Amino acid sequence: MTESWDTIADWYAELVRSGSALHDFSRDSLLGYLPELLRGQRVLDLGCGEGIIARAVAARGATVWGIDPSPRMIEHARSAEKSQPTGAVFSVDDGCTLATVATASVEWVTAGLSLNNVPDLDAALAAVHRVLNPRGALIFTVPHPCFEAPHATWAQAGDGTMRRVVGDYLTEGFWRSSNPNGARRAGNQHRKLSTYITTLMRNGFKIAAVDEPTPDPRVVAAQPQRSGLPPFMLFDVRRA
């Protein structure tokens, strides 16, 4: 069976809700770039999945919309919202168009590990630019383009430590992991770091901060081999 985000949505929701260290770390890294208090602020969470980031942002007082093209992910997000209401509203939509989101309607867009799934980054960033108000910001994470390049693996070095082995960083495009327990079996769009930066600039964003968060103790306890490498890259960009 060829997997998609919709076919792995039940597995992904369970993974995130079981307390995945990497997903909690990804959420917390992104939250670290948002104000503690967001009352009166409107936030769009692009590629919200089962809602881990949208719920946390809503808990800070923001009015939150979460969109995702996977109907099953949105079902999971709505059911979590029903059992523990935060006020977040979820809809099926494509990050490349954001057809359900009005122009200049939000102060913030968050996108946790989702822009590496959109097939057309230019279209998605143009759509984000359209829905942000003139002083709005986009905060997003992607798997680190250098260390999470297609088919990167782990190998034991001569001193017994585990090292990341990266093969073809330079070839961009869609690829699918053969790991039956990995999220990227649903596919992933590999882009070079320079592509992220130039596409942001081309679509009217200026970079306020770039981060490569150091794995926190939860991640290192779960996956010790990750201790010296940033699993994600984080961008804090403003509408120019």
Ligand X SMILES: C[S@@+](CC[C@H](N)C(=O)[O-])C[C@H]1O[C@@H](n2cnc3c(N)ncnc32)[C@H](O)[C@@H]1O
- Please identify, among the stretches 69-77, 165-173, 216-224, 227-235, the one whose residues bind ligand X according to the rule CB under 6 A: 69-77
Site membership for ligand X, residue 88 (CB under 6 A): no
Site membership for ligand X, residue 145 (CB under 6 A): no
- Please identify, among the stretches 67-75, 161-169, 204-212, 220-228, the one whose residues bind ligand X according to the rule CB under 6 A: 67-75
Q: Which token pair is 192?
A: 């070079």
Site membership for ligand X, residue 34 (CB under 6 A): no
Site for ligand X in 149-178 (CB under 6 A): none
DSSP state of 214: P
Site membership for ligand X, residue 8 (CB under 6 A): no
Dihedral angle computed from the Cα positions of residues 118, 120, 121 and 122, in that order, rounded to the nearest 10 degrees: -150
Site membership for ligand X, residue 143 (CB under 6 A): no
Please select the residue that binds ligand X; options are 41, 86, 114, 199, rule is CB under 6 A: 114
Please select the residue that binds ligand X; options are 38, 112, 138, 237, rule is CB under 6 A: 112
Query: What is the nearest approach in angstroms of ligand X to the Cβ of residue 98?
Result: 9
Site membership for ligand X, residue 183 (CB under 6 A): yes
Number of CB atoms found within 10 A of residue 112's CB = 26
CA distances from residue 109 to 114, 157, 165, 199 in whole angstroms, order as listed: 12, 41, 33, 17
Query: What is the nearest approach in angstroms of ligand X to the Cβ of residue 13?
Result: 9
- Please identify, among the stretches 78-86, 106-114, 171-179, 222-230, the one whose residues bind ligand X according to the rule CB under 6 A: 106-114
Q: Which token pair is 209?
A: 């901060």
Q: Which token pair is 8?
A: 């792995």
Query: What is the nearest approach in angstroms of ligand X to the Cβ of residue 139?
Result: 12
> Which residues sit opposite 67 in a β-bridge?
46, 91
Under 8 Å between Cβ of 209 and 236: yes
Please select the residue that binds ligand X; options are 25, 34, 68, 125, rule is CB under 6 A: 68
Please report how many Cα atoms fall inside a 13 Å half-sphere around the Cα of residue 18, on the Cβ side. Answer: 7
Q: Is 215 left (phi over 0), alpha (psi -120 to 50) or beta?
A: beta
**Which residue's CB is nearer to ligand X, number 47 or number 136?**
47
Which has the closest alpha carbon to 151: 134, 132, 127, 173?
A: 173
Residue in the block written with tokens 């969470």: 45
Site for ligand X, rule CB under 6 A: 5, 16, 23, 26, 46-49, 52-53, 68-70, 73, 94-96, 112-114, 117-118, 183
